[in-house]
């Protein structure tokens, strides 16, 4: 059931087809290079793109912009304590700033970090410390058709293998990402979190939860995990998060805000070490790169994320888009996860080899057909890995409606109808850092 109505609107428009054709060509067949005003339905990311509530906008006005000791920080701190259960909060400008603070404090060269799946910025921050990010994904996770309630779980079997191979002394950090963003937003069970917490304790590692989508994850737990059917999202969220020694959070996800992030922990000594690094990279520990007003909006957003109704409606939107696509025979990753629908580009364009970037071809076709912007998460974004060729349609929070999703599904169906005519893409220019190439690289249609 929807628990909100619109009070302020933003005009969007669908440029005529010939303008879209020109725009995508000018963008070097990379939708990151498009002007947002040329996009009709923007599903590039759910990060910071959602709609704030009137209570969040109202809270902005009372932002305390004091450099030190701002009351806005106190309000953020209480929200984190109430919703997530951690007394020490170190704010940061966004999630990756928090990752830099925490992983820069915990990791050194030659260390190994374990994670169910490292999200891109997490992987980059671990690597930036000279440490080795190792994924411990359960076997069915990458398979778009494997069924399972908690395909985002951390594989303890894999974790133990790595411990025997490298020795526990080299593993100071074990991370669990909930929901598992890089594994199609699949949820993680509380049972798995509890087992990973015990495993981390056994090897004397700090157990970190990447809590970006903690409320979405908690919703899946109430729906699917035995023993939690009668619990609220708020109760599950606290129970699951409190199993960690520390959490990293992006306010742009389940903080329901446009910016911000933080590290939180119940370990005063770790908190102090993080504050020192935060001063260097983010700001004084009572603002950490956020304006006072942004801390206010985030404090309200965190509480709204676990209010009854909010997250149920959000997950229902994801399911609505998926079923509209399935009704038009567009192949999607199942079961659908928390924040996005993933299209199986390999199944859409079986005649294209992965070297021809079928996912990126699909992304371009979605824009060309209907002004819809998604993002490729396959061989273009992750060179040299054997990831499935997926296209992510991420849903901004409290922003779009069924009519938009119907347009997206019709657009994808139209792109599939022309599947035989599409040709592959090749890279024309790319930046030096291969891990970041999908943000700026330019492509062109394969010739001949």
Ligand X SMILES: *Cc1c(COP(=O)(O)O)cnc(C)c1O
Nearest approach, Cβ of residue 119 and ligand X (Å): 4
Residue 212 in the binding site for ligand X (CB under 6 A): yes
Of the listed pieces 55-63, 250-258, 276-284, 415-423, which binds ligand X according to CB under 6 A? Answer: 250-258
Q: Scan residues 262-321 and list those touching ligand X (CB under 6 A).
A: none
Q: How many CB atoms lie within 10 A of CB 431?
A: 12
**CA 72 vs CA 26, 262, 310, 340, 427: distances in Å:** 44, 14, 24, 32, 47
Residue 257 in the binding site for ligand X (CB under 6 A): no
Under 8 Å CB-to-CB from 402, ≥6 apart: which residues? 320
Q: How many CB atoms lie within 10 A of CB 8?
A: 8
Q: Find out whether 214 and 84 touch, Cβ atoms under 8 Å.
A: yes
Taking the least distance from each CB to ligand X, the nearer of 96 and 275 is: 96
Residue 187 in the binding site for ligand X (CB under 6 A): no
Helix ranges restricted to H, 292-401: 292-305, 310-327, 345-348, 358-370
Taking the least distance from each CB to ligand X, the nearer of 39 and 209 is: 209
Q: Residues 186, 188, 191, CA angle at the centre, nearest 5°?
A: 160
Residue 94 in the binding site for ligand X (CB under 6 A): yes
Q: How many residues bind ligand X (CB under 6 A)?
A: 15
Of the listed pieces 11-19, 115-123, 320-328, 431-439, which binds ligand X according to CB under 6 A? Answer: 115-123
Out of 121, 176, 265, 360, the only residue in the binding site for ligand X (CB under 6 A) is: 121
Out of 40, 86, 103, 119, the only residue in the binding site for ligand X (CB under 6 A) is: 119
Out of 96, 219, 368, 407, the only residue in the binding site for ligand X (CB under 6 A) is: 96
Residue 154 in the binding site for ligand X (CB under 6 A): no
Nearest approach, Cβ of residue 14 and ligand X (Å): 28
Residue 261 in the binding site for ligand X (CB under 6 A): yes
Quick note: the x/- pattern for ligand X over 33-62, rule CB under 6 A, is --------------x---------------
Out of 38, 77, 210, 245, the only residue in the binding site for ligand X (CB under 6 A) is: 210
Task: Count Cβ atoms within 10 A of the Cβ of residue 148 and give its class: 0-12 exposed, 13-18 middle, 19 or more buried.
Answer: middle
Q: Find out whether 344 and 366 touch, Cβ atoms under 8 Å.
A: no
Measured between alpha carbons, how far apart are the two ends of the chain, in Å?
52
Taking the least distance from each CB to ligand X, the nearer of 56 and 250 is: 250
Closest CA to 319 of 336, 331, 344, 334: 336
Residue 100 in the binding site for ligand X (CB under 6 A): no
Q: Which residue is nearest to ligand X (CB)?
A: 95
Residue 91 β-bridge partners? 262
Out of 50, 63, 85, 95, the only residue in the binding site for ligand X (CB under 6 A) is: 95
**b/e code 248-286 from CB counts within 10 Å (16+ = b):** bbbbbbbbbbbbbbbbbbeeeebbebbbebbeeebbbbb
Out of 252, 392, 397, 398, the only residue in the binding site for ligand X (CB under 6 A) is: 252
Closest CA to 227 of 191, 180, 272, 187: 191
Nearest approach, Cβ of residue 46 and ligand X (Å): 9
Of the listed pieces 114-122, 218-226, 302-310, 406-414, which binds ligand X according to CB under 6 A? Answer: 114-122
- Collapsing DSSP to helix, strand or coil, 394 comes out as strand
Taking the least distance from each CB to ligand X, the nearer of 119 and 310 is: 119
- Residues at the interface with ligand X (CB under 6 A): 47, 94-96, 119, 121-122, 177, 181, 210, 212, 250, 252-253, 261
């Amino acid at each position: 059931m929807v628990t909100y109505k619109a009070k302020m609107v933003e005009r969007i428009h669908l440029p005529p087809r010939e303008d879209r054709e020109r725009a995508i060509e000018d963008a070097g067949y990379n939708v990151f290079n498009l002007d947002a005003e040329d996009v009709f339905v923007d599903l590039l990311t759910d990060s910071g793109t959602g709609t704030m509530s009137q209570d969040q906008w109202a809270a902005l006005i009372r932002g305390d912009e004091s450099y030190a000791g701002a009351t806005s920080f106190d309000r953020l701190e209480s929200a984190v304590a109430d919703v997530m259960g951690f007394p020490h909060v170190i704010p940061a400008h966004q999630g990756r700033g928090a990752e830099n603070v925490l992983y820069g404090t915990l990791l050194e060269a030659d260390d190994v970090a374990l994670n169910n799946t490292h999200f891109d910025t997490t992987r980059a921050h671990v690597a930036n410390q000279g440490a080795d990010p190792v994924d411990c994904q359960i076997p069915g996770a990458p398979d778009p058709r494997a069924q399972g309630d908690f395909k985002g779980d951390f594989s303890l079997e894999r974790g133990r293998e790595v411990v025997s191979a490298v020795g526990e002394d080299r593993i100071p950090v074990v991370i669990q990402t909930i929901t598992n963003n890089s594994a199609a937003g699949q949820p993680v069970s509380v049972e798995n979190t509890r087992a990973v917490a015990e495993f981390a304790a056994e090897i004397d590692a700090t157990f970190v939860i990447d809590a970006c989508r903690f409320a979405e994850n908690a919703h899946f737990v109430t729906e699917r995990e035995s023993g939690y059917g009668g619990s609220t999202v708020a109760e599950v969220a606290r129970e699951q998060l409190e199993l960690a020694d520390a959490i990293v959070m992006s306010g742009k996800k389940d903080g329901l805000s446009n910016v911000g992030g933080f590290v939180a922990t119940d370990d005063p000594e770790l908190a102090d070490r993080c504050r020192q690094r935060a001063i260097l990279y983010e700001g004084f520990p009572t603002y950490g790169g956020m304006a006072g007003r942004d801390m206010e909006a985030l404090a309200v957003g965190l509480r709204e994320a676990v209010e009854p109704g909010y997250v149920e409606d959000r997950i229902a939107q994801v399911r609505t888009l998926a079923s509209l696509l399935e009704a038009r025979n567009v192949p999607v990753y199942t079961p659908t996860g928390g924040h996005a629908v993933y299209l199986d580009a390999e199944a859409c364009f079986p005649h294209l080899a992965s070297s021809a970037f079928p996912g990126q071809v699909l992304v371009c076709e979605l824009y060309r057909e209907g002004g819809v912007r998604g993002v490729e998460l396959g061989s273009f974004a992750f060179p040299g890995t054997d990831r499935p060729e997926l296209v992510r349609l991420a849903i901004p929070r409290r922003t779009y409606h069924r009519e938009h999703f119907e347009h997206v599904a019709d657009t994808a169906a139209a792109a599939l109808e022309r599947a035989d005519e599409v040709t592959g893409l090749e890279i024309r220019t790319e930046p030096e850092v291969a891990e970041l190439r999908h943000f700026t690289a330019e492509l062109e249609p394969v010739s001949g």
